[in-house]
């Protein structure tokens, strides 16, 4: 029986399950054993040491891979000029990404273990935290030096100490699994000024935060185990795929993506529970929090934070919108609902700071580079701009109706085929990783998604002017009717009609 139970998950999956389970139990102990000001001291000064110790026990000497990122980032921040909000963060961004690439390929040149599995996961999270921290400090320096010129509603009130940066970079919450959270969110989690708010949340909201996430775990974990056994990814790594019918290949790709989504839904449900247990991402409802960004209504935040608001939510740490991923109306909306913390990181530190003409491509490129230098990653991510470009034209031709939905028959066909099967297709490249396996499967499917999207884009772009000519906009039609009525009836006050 024990052998069959162990065979339900792979070795890596069992390790991640142990990491999540151990972190969750530890967060429970910290939350319920530490009381009063001692709780905030534990939350503030211990998480980095716990995370570093856990990583050392799990990875052994491979934890050394992550140390140069932490050292370079902290020294760059502490030695940056007070008014420097551009050069220092950009330097950290470039150097950390170059270092990430070097460590991934170091084993090809010298006899060292490959940066893979849990060691690679740690490196990815440290990369996000280091770059995000550098940009946040740089932006805050600018805000403090130029009061009133920034659009940001909150900024760091002072530069962080080495100790606080260490505790953030190696914070055990999400260290191997995510989600990403900002340095400001870490500071908020251990802010003793919010003790009344956190106590109210603990008394009234914590069980509710657990309940819906554990329900998500209850259905996603069994589906993952069952589908993973029936549709293993290795089935796509064989020349047998050329013998399958196209329909069966589409079904298999669909189920492989189901396996991937269920694994992620299960893991993130536990990881988010750890965050909320440690106060990370919990803000008053009146502060209108957003993922990673935190409160967007500063007045509502300040009032509820110090006065002990009785209603709160965890939207700032909610990493996935399952309904949006599963049933949104297009590629762009589905992507936005997936891994929201990394999406927000890309939006804040890449997309919003890149040249406008190349934002989309550069953001997808950095996303692929962060995930790994496998050909499959780049193939999948670089198909995204093709899909969104064609989708944008299609959405202009098929606008939403009065009910806010696109009910056109052609659109429903598009959603069921291109959108849903397109995500399945791209997921296979992401999961197969290398060029050989990805090209084998994609070529067996005739590269149907990029080919279809390129053709669709040019066809829709060509017919768009004709469609607009045949179907005037509603406002233009209304104006034309008014003009006709006005000049056919002398009793109408023309000035009144023309003025609206």
> Within 10 Å of residue 356's Cβ, how many Cβ atoms?
7
The residue annotated as part of the active site, out of 171, 198, 351, 371, is: 371
Known catalytic residue at 439: no
> Within 10 Å of residue 1's Cβ, how many Cβ atoms?
5
Q: What does each C-alpha distance from 118 to 12, 108, 164, 175, 372 come to in angstroms? A: 8, 19, 24, 10, 14
Give 444's Cβ-side CA count (13 Å radius): 25
Token pair belonging to 13: 């999956």
Distance CA 499, CA 486 (A): 12
> Within 10 Å of residue 102's Cβ, how many Cβ atoms?
13
Please write down the long-range contacts of 407-416, taking CB distance under 8 Å and 24 or more positions apart: 411/329, 415/329, 415/330
Token pair belonging to 155: 């900024």
Distance CA 77, CA 134 (A): 7
- CB-based contact 126:70 (threshold 8 Å): yes
Q: Which residues are known to be catalytic?
A: 371
């Amino acid at each position: 029986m024990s052998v069959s139970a162990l065979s339900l998950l792979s070795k890596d999956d069992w390790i991640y399950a142990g990491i999540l389970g151990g972190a969750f139990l530890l967060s429970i102990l910290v939350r319920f054993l530490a009381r009063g000001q001692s709780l905030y001291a534990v939350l503030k000064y211990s998480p980095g040491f716990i995370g570093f110790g856990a990583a050392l026990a799990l990875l052994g000497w491979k934890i050394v891979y992550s140390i140069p990122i932490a050292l370079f980032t902290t020294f760059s921040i502490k030695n940056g000029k007070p008014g420097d909000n551009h050069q220092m963060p950009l330097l950290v961004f470039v150097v950390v990404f170059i270092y990430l690439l070097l460590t991934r390929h170091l084993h090809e040149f010298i006899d060292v273990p490959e940066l893979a599995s849990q060691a690679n996961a740690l490196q990815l999270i440290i990369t996000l935290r280091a770059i995000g921290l550098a940009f946040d400090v740089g932006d805050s320096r600018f805000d403090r030096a130029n009061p009133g010129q920034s659009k940001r509603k909150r900024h760091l009130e002072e530069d962080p100490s080495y100790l606080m940066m260490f505790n953030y970079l190696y914070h055990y919450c999400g260290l191997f699994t995510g989600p990403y959270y900002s340095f400001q969110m870490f500071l908020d989690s251990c802010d003793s000024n919010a003790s009344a708010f956190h106590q109210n949340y603990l008394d009234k909201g914590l069980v509710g935060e657990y309940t819906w996430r554990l329900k998500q775990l209850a259905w996603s974990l069994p589906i993952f185990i069952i589908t993973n056994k029936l549709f293993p990814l290795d089935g796509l790594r064989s020349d047998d795929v050329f013998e399958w019918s196209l329909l069966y290949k589409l079904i298999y790709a669909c189920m492989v993506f189901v396996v991937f989504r269920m694994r992620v839904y299960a893991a993130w449900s536990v990881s988010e529970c750890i965050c909320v247990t440690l106060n990370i991402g919990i803000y008053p409802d009146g502060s209108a929090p957003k993922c990673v960004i935190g409160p967007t209504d500063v007045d509502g935040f300040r009032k509820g934070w110090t006065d002990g608001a009785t209603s709160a939510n965890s939207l700032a740490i909610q990493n996935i919108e399952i309904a949006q991923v599963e049933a949104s109306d297009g590629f762009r909306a589905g992507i936005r609902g997936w891994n929201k913390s990394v999406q927000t990181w890309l939006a804040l530190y890449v997309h919003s700071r890149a040249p406008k003409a190349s934002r989309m491509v550069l953001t997808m490129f950095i996303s692929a580079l962060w995930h790994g230098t496998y050909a499959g990653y780049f193939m999948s991510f670089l198909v995204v701009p093709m899909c969104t470009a064609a989708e944008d034209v299609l959405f202009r031709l098929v606008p939403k109706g009065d009910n806010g939905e696109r009910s056109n028959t052609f659109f429903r066909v598009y959603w069921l085929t291109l959108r849903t099967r397109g995500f399945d297709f791209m997921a296979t490249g992401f999961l197969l990783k290398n060029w050989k396996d990805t090209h084998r499967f994609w070529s067996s499917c005739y590269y149907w998604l990029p080919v279809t999207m390129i053709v669709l884009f040019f066809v829709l772009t060509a017919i768009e002017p004709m469609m607009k000519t045949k179907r005037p906009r509603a406002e233009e039609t209304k104006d034309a009717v008014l003009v006709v009525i006005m000049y056919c009836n002398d009793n109408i006050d023309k000035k009144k009609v023309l003025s609206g």
